[in-house]
Amino acid sequence: MAVSTETVSDICTAAKRASRALAQLDTQTKDSALQAIAEALEDRVADILEANALDLEAGREAELSGALLDRLALDPRRVAAIAAGVRAIAALSDPVGEVVDGFRRPNGLEIRKVRVPLGVVAVVYEARPNVTIDAAALCLKSGNATVLRGSSSAGHSNALLAQLAGEAAEAAGLPEAAISIIRGGEREELRELATQTGTVDLLIPRGGEQLKSALAEHATVPVIYAASGNCHVYVDASADLDLAQRIVVNAKVQRPGVCNAAETLLVHRDVAAAFLPQVARALVESGVELRGDKRAYELAGQFPIEPASPADWDTEYLSLILAVAVVDSLDGAIEHIAAHGTGHSEAIVTSDRDAARRFQHAVDAACVYVNASTRFTDGGEFGMGAEIGNSTQKLHARGPIGLRELCTFKYLIEGDGQVRS
C-alpha cells in the first residue's frame, strides 16, 4: 500500500502500473482478494475501532455536529456490515471480459467489443469511513486500481482500513499499488489528484456540492459527478388514487435524505380536488411539510400547507418537505419537469397507456417510472448488486454506477492478413 511520504503523482503512477496487472487477473484471484479483505476487517475489529476512536475524539474536540460524528463512528456491527458488503461484491459476476458486441465483416475480419477495466479510478469522499472499503472493493472487482482520498476528519480510520485492504489484497497476489490512499491536507492534494492526466482514468467525487464545485474548477481528468436529484411524482387524471398515494408517500417519506426521494408532487387538475386532501392527510401524518402553488393551496382541504415560492420548484430538500403543484395536463407536467428536473428520477402514476408512453418518451431523465416509487433508482434495486453513486450525466454512465460502469471496452479484431484497399 502506498504510504504518506509519496506525492500524489507518485501514488497515481504506481497505481497506473498496478492497473496493467489488475486488468489481466482472473475472476477467482480477484474474489480471493476480496474474501481476504473481508477476513482482515473481521480479524482486526479492535484495531479499527481504536483508530476510529482517535477520529471521534478529534471530531468532538473540533465540535463536529452529532450527525457528522454518527457518520464517522464505527462499531462492531458496522465493521461486520462493511465486511459483508465486500463478500457481496465478491459474489457479483465479473464485468471484465464480457463481450458487449461481436460480428464478422464481409472481408472476414472478426470483431469483438469486450469490456475491460478503466485503469485507475480515484474516489474522493467525505466522512463515512465505510466508503474506503466499498469503493476499493468495487474497483478491485472491476479490475481497476483505486486511489482513495477521504476527509481528514476520518483520517485514522481511513488510513487503517485502506492499509488492511491493501495488505490483504497483496497477500492474495495482487500488486502492491492496487489500493492506495492519499493522506494530508484538504485542498492541495485534491487539486493535484484532479489533474493527474494520463494516470487517473476516472475520478468519482462522493460528497456535497462544495466538493463538486471545488473539483469542477480544477479537474482535467475525466470526472463523473454523483447526482443531485430534484425528483417529481406526477399523478395523472387517470391515476388510481390509492396507488398514487402509496407511491407519493413512499417516494417522499421512506428515506427523505437521498437523491432519489421525491421533492415535488404534480397533480392533474381533474383529480386535484379528490386527491389533494387525501394525500395531504397521509403526508402530514407522516410529518411532511407541504408547500403548494395557489391551486394546491386552495384544494388541500383542512391540512396545513404553506404557499410555495418560485425557489421551491428548484429545491432538493433532502428532508420532510414536499412542493405541490396542480398542472392542467400531461404536457404541463412534462414542461414542469423539463424546466425544474435534474434528470435523475421522474415518475408518473396513471392508468392510461398513452399517457404512460408519452411521459416515458418525453421526460429526459436517467430513470423514468410508471406506477412505481422513484426510490428504486439504486444499483442494488436494479440488480447491479452495488453502486458507487448515481450519475445524471449523459455520457458513459447514466443512473446507477455499478461494476459495468467502472469499465470501458476495447475492440479486439482478428484477421488473416487483411489490408485496406
From start to end of 223-279, where are the E strands?
Answer: 231-235, 262-268
Is 286 a residue that touches a copy of itself (CB under 8 A)?
no
Is 417 a residue that touches a copy of itself (CB under 8 A)?
yes
Is 383 a residue that touches a copy of itself (CB under 8 A)?
yes
Q: ∠ CA(171), CA(130), CA(190), 5° rounding?
A: 90
Question: Cell 418518451 sits at which residue?
Answer: 361
CA distance 364 to 285: 33
Is 398 a residue that touches a copy of itself (CB under 8 A)?
yes
Comparing CB distances to a copy of itself, the nearer of 224 and 299 is: 224
Binding mask 222-261 for a copy of itself (x = CB under 8 A): x-x---------------x--x--xx-xxx--xx------
Is 370 a residue that touches a copy of itself (CB under 8 A)?
yes
Binding mask 97-126 for a copy of itself (x = CB under 8 A): ------x-x---x-x----x-xx-------
CA distance 412 to 328: 54
Binding residue (CB under 8 A) for a copy of itself from 44, 149, 206, 375: 375
**40-48, 171-179, 310-318, 407-415 -> range binding a copy of itself (CB under 8 A):** 407-415
Number of chain residues interacting with a copy of itself (CB under 8 A)? 66
Q: How many Cα atoms sit within 13 Å of 385 on the Cβ side?
A: 21
Comparing CB distances to a copy of itself, the nearer of 321 and 370 is: 370
316: CB partners within 8 A, 6+ apart: 228, 229, 230, 259, 263, 342
Is 24 a residue that touches a copy of itself (CB under 8 A)?
yes
CA distance 118 to 351: 43
Q: Which of 339, 368, 341 is nearest to 355 (CA)?
A: 368
Give me the DSSP letters along 141-186.
HTT-EEEEE--GGGHHHHHHHHHHHHHHHHHTT--GGGEEE--S-S
Q: ∠ CA(308), CA(310), CA(316), 5° rounding?
A: 80
Give me the DSSP letters along 9-41.
HHHHHHHHHHHHHHTT--HHHHHHHHHHHHHHH
Q: Which three cell numbers stand for residue 378?
A: 439504486
Taking the complex as a whole, the smallest distance from the CB of residue 391 to a copy of itself amounts, in Å, to 10
CA distance 272 to 277: 8
Comparing CB distances to a copy of itself, the nearer of 4 and 254 is: 254
Taking the complex as a whole, the smallest distance from the CB of residue 170 to a copy of itself amounts, in Å, to 21
Is 220 a residue that touches a copy of itself (CB under 8 A)?
yes
Comparing CB distances to a copy of itself, the nearer of 294 and 394 is: 394
Taking the complex as a whole, the smallest distance from the CB of residue 385 to a copy of itself amounts, in Å, to 13
Q: How many Cα atoms sit within 13 Å of 254 on the Cβ side?
A: 14
SS3 of residue 64 by DSSP: coil
Taking the complex as a whole, the smallest distance from the CB of residue 58 to a copy of itself amounts, in Å, to 36
**7-15, 42-50, 313-321, 357-365 -> range binding a copy of itself (CB under 8 A):** 357-365
Binding residue (CB under 8 A) for a copy of itself from 3, 20, 91, 319: 20
Comparing CB distances to a copy of itself, the nearer of 45 and 111 is: 111
Pair 149, 192: CB distance under 8 Å: no
Residues in 317-356 that interact with a copy of itself by CB under 8 A? 338, 356
Q: Where are the alpha helices (DSSP H) in 44-148?
A: 45-61, 66-72, 76-91, 130-141
Binding mask 295-314 for a copy of itself (x = CB under 8 A): --------------------
Q: Footprint of a copy of itself on this chain (CB under 8 A)?
A: 20, 23-24, 103, 105, 109, 111, 116, 118-119, 201-202, 216, 220, 222, 224, 240, 243, 246-247, 249-251, 254-255, 338, 356, 360-362, 364-373, 375-377, 381-383, 393-396, 398-399, 408-421
